[in-house]
A and B are shown apart, each in its own frame.
Chain A
Amino acid sequence: MPRPIDRHEVRRLVDGGAQLVDVLPANEYEEDHLPGAINMPLRRLEKEARSALDPGRPVVVYCSDSA
């Protein structure tokens, strides 16, 4: 299970080399995303995560909000 974190921890993890993954649809990612985030919409996540992400670095996923 992914561990819930807040934005302060996101910044700390990213500064330490974590990978940021935006799981929103591509059009929403194109409008706005966190600096350095890659886009991997939820339905592609399971299929693409292994090839696109570095297993040696932490991964932070996010969507629009917690609702």
Chain B
Amino acid sequence: MFDYEDGKLDWLAAGLPSEGTNAQRPRAGDVARKDVPTCRLDERLGDVMDRTREAGWDACVVLNEERVVFGLLRSKELEASPDLRIEEAMRPGPSTFRPFVSIEEMAAFMMEHDLESSPITTSDGRLVGLLRREDAAKAASELHEREHHSNGGRT
């Protein structure tokens, strides 16, 4: 017999699939964009900004070689001097969230704390994707609509 000591929370935090009633409801990891641009600490801000804008983004996640999140460049940081190194320009240690957090909870938290975007990571800090506030709000609103209709209009 084997004991998976870290248990269900570790499994869900790694963004692995699950079954059950909650599996039907969107979570942070489902809505987070996986195509977010990423960069390394030793890159030049000007190069990263060009790459980020070309990809149609206004945010870039700073990772190490193991894809662990070190920082975040939002529109404000991307506009700093192009000759800065990423480690000088980034917002270090941004708040990160696990993939299993419900999308309603994420949307409410991001509104309340005025967060444009939040990195979604596994329990060991590896990037799953970037959750944008408008995506979280839209998914939460669609879920609310769907559940409202399936309840026959009752809230």
Contact = CB atoms under 8 A, between A and B. Distances in A.
B23 A32 contact: yes
Contacts of B2: 2-5, 9-10, 13, 18, 58-61
Contacts of B8: 22, 24, 32-34, 62-65
A24 B22 CA distance: 16
A65 to B, nearest CB: 4
Contact of A65 (B10, B14, B100): B10
Interface string B1-26: 11111111111101011111111000
Contacts of A62: 3-5, 7-8, 11
B147 to A, nearest CB: 15
Interface string A31-52: 1111111000000000000000
Contacts of A18: 2
Contacts, number: 90
Interface SS of chain B: mixed
Nearest to A11: B16
B19 A60 contact: no
- Interface-central residue, A7, A59, A60, by most chain B CB under 10 Å: A7
Contact of A7 (B1, B4, B18): B4
A58 B8 CA distance: 19
- Interface-central residue, A10, A30, A65, by most chain B CB under 10 Å: A65
A21 to B, nearest CB: 9
Interface string A7-31: 1011001000010001010000111
B18 A61 contact: no
Nearest to A5: B2
- Interface-central residue, B6, B10, B16, by most chain A CB under 10 Å: B6
Interface of A: 2-7, 9-10, 13, 18, 22, 24, 29-37, 58-66
